[in-house]
Amino acid sequence: MSDVARFAEWDPGVRAGKQVEGSGPGVGAAYDLLLAGGQTFRYRVESFEPNARYYMVARTSRFVSLDTVTVEKHGEHTLVTYDAELRTRGLVGKLPLVDWGLQRIFNRIGARASAGLARFLDGAVAA
């Protein structure tokens, strides 16, 4: 989960990824993810706890994406939680209807990514 460059292997919304700063996962690592819509988001890891949690942020001229990944052991199982928040920036970010519509679209994208991640990890999506 900490190799962000591999997100395209499970997230249908990501076409390709590569690490552009740092060597391996950790604070300060940066990754370019080419999204299905053609835009590239550069994610920077801002906090990192090996095998437990990391937080990364991508900023573009129109959006900010705040992503937290946690990994927790539960008996014989492992719970992976990917929490992402996409915000608009600039004048568009001041229009509540735009954020409402964006959230609906982002929820559908997230559902496809969840299903892909469950398949990739040979698991299931938790309710």
Return the domain boundaries, the chain.
4-120
Note whether 58 and 48 are within 8 A (CB): no
Cα atoms found within 13 Å of the Cα of residue 98, Cβ hemisphere only:
12
Return d(Cα 1, Cα 11) in angstroms, integer. 12
Q: Give how far the C-alpha of residue 66 lies from the chain's centroid of Cα atoms, to the nearest Å.
A: 8
CB–CB of 11/116 below 8 Å?
A: yes
* pLDDT at 92 (0 to 100): 54
Spatial separation of the C-alpha atoms in residues 76 and 56, rounded to whole Å = 28
Higher pLDDT, 90 or 40: 40
The answer to whether 43 and 4 have CB atoms below 8 angstroms apart is: yes
pLDDT higher for 92 or 119? 119
Does the structure show a pLDDT above 70 at 8? yes
Q: Is the pLDDT of residue 81 over 80?
A: yes
Output the pLDDT for position 108.
85
Better-scored residue on pLDDT, 71 or 104: 71
Per CATH, domain 4-120 is 3.40.50.2300: no
Predicted local confidence at residue 126, as pLDDT: 78
Q: CB neighbours (10 Å) of residue 1?
A: 19
Task: Using the predicted structure, report yes or no on whether residue 91 has a pLDDT greater than 70.
Answer: no
